Amino acid sequence: MSPILEPNTLDFISHSETQTRRLGTRLADLLQPGDVLALIGDLGSGKTRWIQGVCQGLDVADPVISPTFTLVNEYQGRLPVYHIDLYRLDDASEALNIGLEDYLYGSGITMIEWADNALEYFPKDYLTIELYYLEDTKRRVVMRPHGERFSAILNEFKLAAFAQ
């Protein structure tokens, strides 16, 4: 059963890893220092691919891999990028031990895989990107804005990503 979508929620299908990365790249053009992206989805749903696209759009030159065991990877592009993976946490409060709040309220772009493990610590403005495995090459993507800034970003994203 599909969740009930808010009026400003975007729900679409990505047909390949390349398309998932490309959509992340287009989102990167709209991001500013301090922005937070919460990525939610099962293993293999495309969270890391989306983040790779955002990093490509932010001109990150380093290989972007999921920090499943290190918990945090920091990259430098046009802006600092903080890639966090909360998969291995047993309790949301453990996120505070890795300095989650410093990243969430920092001056870079913070992207968190398995973000649903610590949403109670998130700022009031952030963007949730839910990815659902459909088939080997297809993913359902649901983008939910939290706060006015991300409502505006989502509207801009719709125009940029789906124009033509």
Helix (H/G/I), strand (E/B), else coil: 82: strand
Predicted confidence (pLDDT) per residue in 79-135, tens digit: 999 999 988 777 777 777 777 888 899 899 999 999 998 889 899 999 999 999 999
Residue 44 has pLDDT above 50, yes or no: yes
Better-predicted residue by pLDDT, 147 or 162: 147
For the chain, percent of residues with pLDDT exceeding 90:
66
Residue 32 has pLDDT above 90, yes or no: yes
3 within a domain of the structure (yes/no): no
Split at pLDDT 50, 70, 90, the class of 163 is low
106 within a domain of the structure (yes/no): yes
Residue 153 has pLDDT above 90, yes or no: yes
Structure token digits, residue 82: 């903080």
164 within a domain of the structure (yes/no): no
79 within a domain of the structure (yes/no): yes
5 within a domain of the structure (yes/no): no
> Which residue, among 101, 151, 99, has the nearest Cα to 126 in the 3D structure?
151
State the virtual CA torsion across 73, 28, 158, 144 in degrees, nearest 10.
30
Residues 6+ apart with CB under 8 A from 99: 72
For the chain, percent of residues with pLDDT exceeding 70:
93
Residue 1 has pLDDT above 50, yes or no: no
User: What domain count does the chain have?
Assistant: 1
153 within a domain of the structure (yes/no): yes
104 within a domain of the structure (yes/no): yes
Q: What is the CATH number of the domain that holds 85?
A: 3.40.50.300
